[in-house]
A and B are shown apart, each in its own frame.
Chain A
Amino acid sequence: DTGVSQDPRHKITKRGQNVTFRCDPISEHNRLYWYRQTLGQGPEFLTYFQNEAQLEKSRLLSDRFSAERPKGSFSTLEIQRTEQGDSAMYLCASSPTGETQYFGPGTRLLVL
Chain B
Amino acid sequence: AQSVSQHNHHVILSEAASLELGCNYSYGGTVNLFWYVQYPGQHLQLLLKYFSGDPLVKGIKGFEAEFIKSKFSFNLRKPSVQWSDTAEYFCAVNAGLTGGGNKLTFGTGTQLKVEL
Q: Which residues of A contact B (CB under 8 A)?
A: 31, 33, 35, 40-45, 48, 55-56, 58, 91, 93, 95, 97-106
Contact = CB atoms under 8 A, between A and B. Distances in A.
B106 A43 contact: yes
A56 B103 contact: yes
A57 B12 CA distance: 37
B73 interface: no
Contacts, number: 58
B102 A98 contact: yes
Contacts of B98: 97
B6 to A, nearest CB: 8
A58 B45 CA distance: 23
B101 A106 contact: no
B92 interface: yes
A103 B101 contact: no
B51 A44 contact: no
Interface in B70-102: 90, 92, 94, 98-102
Contacts of B90: 42-43
B51 to A, nearest CB: 7
